[in-house]
Chain A
Amino acid sequence: MFHKSHPQFYPARQSIRLDPKGKSLKDEDVLQHLPVGTTATFYFRDLGAQISWVTVFLTEYTGPLVIYLLFYFRVPFIYAPKYDFTTSKHWVVHLACMCHSFHYVKRLLETLFVHRFSHGTMPLRNIFKNCSYYWGFAAWMAYYINHPLYTPPSEFTNIQFILVTLEFFNFCQIGNLSIHIALRNLRPPGSKTRKIPYPTKNPFTWIFVLVSCPNYTYELGSWLGFTLMTQCLPVAFFTLVGFIQMTVWAKGKHRSYLKEFRDYPPLRSPILPFVL
Chain B
Amino acid sequence: MASGEEDGAVDEKENNNKKKTKSAIVTAWLTFYNIAMTAGWLVLAMAMARFYIQKGTHKGLYRSIARTIKFFQTFALVEVGHCAIGIVRTSVIVTGVQVCSRIFLVWFITNSIRQIQNEESVILFLVVWTLTEITRYSYYTFKLLHHLPYFVKWARYNLFIILYPLGVIGELLTIYAALPVVRRTGMFSMRLPNKYNVSFDYYYCLIIVMLSYIPLFPQLYFHMLRQRRRVLHGEVIVEKDD
By the criterion CB–CB under 8 Å, are B195 and A230 in contact? no
CA distance A150 to B194 in the complex (A): 8
CA distance A204 to B192 in the complex (A): 40
Q: Which residues of A contact B192 (CB under 8 A)?
A: 144, 147, 149-150
A151 is an interface residue with CB less than 8 A from chain B:
yes
CA distance A149 to B195 in the complex (A): 10
Please classify how large the interface on chain B is, using the bins under 10, 10 to 19, 20 to 34, 35 or more: under 10
B198 is an interface residue with CB less than 8 A from chain A:
yes
B193 is an interface residue with CB less than 8 A from chain A:
yes
**Segment with Cβ contacts to B, from A10-18, A68-76, A194-202, A231-239:** A231-239
A-B contact count (CB 8 A): 29
Measured CB to CB, the nearest residue on chain A to B199 is A144
Distance of A150 from chain B, by nearest CB (Å): 6
By the criterion CB–CB under 8 Å, are B195 and A150 in contact? no
Q: Which residues of A contact B197 (CB under 8 A)?
A: 144-145, 147, 150-151, 230-234
Main secondary structure of the interface of B (DSSP, over half): loop
B196 is an interface residue with CB less than 8 A from chain A:
yes
CA distance A66 to B195 in the complex (A): 26
Q: Interface readout for A221-261 with B: 1 if CB under 8 Å, 0 if not?
A: 00000000011111000000000000000000000000000
Distance of A45 from chain B, by nearest CB (Å): 11
Report how many residues on chain A are interfacial, defined by Cβ distance under 8 Å: 12
By the criterion CB–CB under 8 Å, are A232 and B198 in contact? yes
A154 is an interface residue with CB less than 8 A from chain B:
yes
CA distance A232 to B193 in the complex (A): 11
Q: Interface readout for B187-205 with A: 1 if CB under 8 Å, 0 if not?
A: 0000011111111000000
CA distance A230 to B196 in the complex (A): 9
Measured CB to CB, the nearest residue on chain B to A143 is B199
By the criterion CB–CB under 8 Å, are A151 and B198 in contact? no
CA distance A70 to B199 in the complex (A): 20
Q: Which residues of B contact A147 (CB under 8 A)?
A: 192, 197
Distance of A50 from chain B, by nearest CB (Å): 15
Q: Supply 7 A–B pairs (Cβ within 8 Å), ascending by A.
A: A147-B197, A151-B193, A230-B197, A232-B196, A232-B197, A232-B198, A234-B197
Which residues of A are in contact with B by a Cβ distance under 8 Å?
144-145, 147, 149-151, 154, 230-234
Closest 3 CB pairs of A and B: A233-B198, A149-B193, A149-B192
Give 12 new A-B contacts, CB below 8 A, not counting A154-B195, A233-B197: A144-B197, A144-B198, A149-B192, A150-B197, A151-B193, A151-B194, A151-B195, A232-B196, A232-B198, A233-B198, A234-B197, A234-B198
